[in-house]
A = this chain, B = another copy of it.
Amino acid sequence: MSRQAREAHDGFEALAETIVRTLEAAVPGERFESHSWAHAAGGGGVSRLLSDGVCFEKAGVNFSHVHGHALPPAALEGRPDLSGAGFQAVGLSVVIHPRNPHVPTTHANVRYIETEACGDVPPRFWFGGGFDLTPFYPRLEDCVYWHQTAADLCRPFGEELYPRFKNECDRYFYLKHRAEPRGIGGIFFDNLRLADFATTLRFAKAVGQGFLDAYLPILAARRYETWGEREREFQLLRRSRYVEFNLLYDRGTLFGLQSGGRVDSILMSLPPLAGWRDLGHYDKQEPERWLREFFLKPRDWLNPGLSCEWRKQETK
């Protein structure tokens, strides 16, 4: 294993521990169960799953380090010259499906990939990752806070990073067939090399820590809000869009399935319950219609400029 792959491995493994410990501390009594697995082609991972908690209906933290003789198709987009290159991939991903519909679903990921020399193409490495938020009953202040935290963690690494990664996030988490984003976004990056390996690894770790900083206050603010059948029904409807995104578009999911990873770990991102029912009436009702009308639009969340009509609604 290269020194870099080892450092990414150790860094992401420690980050996974931190995330698991921090989340467990936030929801006393709810515990992750750990499952280690080996990859057929070499390497393996540790999947941690929290099921049926009071606060977290389902939460997963996946760490993996796999090797392969050739990058799978999902990883070749924009890098056709690397077709056939041996690779190592170290990844950490987190998905949280809270039970309370007022608490947003969220996802975070960091990954390190290095390829071996292949024909004329020299060895290469890059990082990818980010985090994004999928609220069902969004609050403006939460969305602003989420993006502000993302911008703050990016700034020490370059002023231009947040706007770039924010736009990439909007582009990536987009359901083309519904002409609708998955949520209110966050940051997303791929093919990333900052000044050097060490700086980029530091940035990836900052993204993992920034995810916790961004999510925990929103969790704390919303977890005790009351909800009932109506909010649950709407949540299950919206979660079905999450499933559609992950199975139709998500490169990480398709990369995992194509590279023969552990299916239950890869699909840990899918919600514990989701429904495809005919609930079009929510498009006309408040507050549900505000989700698609105001929040699921690409927007400068640091200066959201939402209409007065919406603000009146929010302060009711």
Hey, which bits of chain A sit against chain B, CB under 8 A? 49, 51-52, 58, 177-178, 236, 240, 243-244, 247-248, 257, 263-264, 267-268, 270-278
Give complex CA distance A59, B157 in Å.
Answer: 53
Partner of A243, one of B178, B247, B263, B268: B247
| Closest chain B residue to A256, Cβ basis | B177
Contact A273 B243 (CB under 8 A): no
A248: which B residues are within 8 A, CB to CB? 247, 257
Give complex CA distance A52, B277 in Å.
Answer: 9
Contacts A51-B278, A247-B248 known; A236 to B177 CB distance under 8 Å?
no
| Closest chain B residue to A179, Cβ basis | B263
CB distance from A268 to the nearest CB of B (A): 8
Partner of A58, one of B243, B270, B277: B277
Contact A274 B275 (CB under 8 A): yes
CB distance from A35 to the nearest CB of B (A): 9
Contacts A247-B243, A278-B49 known; A273 to B177 CB distance under 8 Å?
no
Partner of A271, one of B247, B268, B276, B278: B276
A277: which B residues are within 8 A, CB to CB? 51-52, 58, 272-273
Contact A275 B276 (CB under 8 A): no
Give complex CA distance A248, B277 in Å.
Answer: 20
CB distance from A313 to the nearest CB of B (A): 27
* Sample of 9 A–B contacts (CB below 8 Å): A177-B257, A178-B263, A247-B247, A248-B257, A267-B276, A268-B276, A273-B274, A274-B274, A274-B275
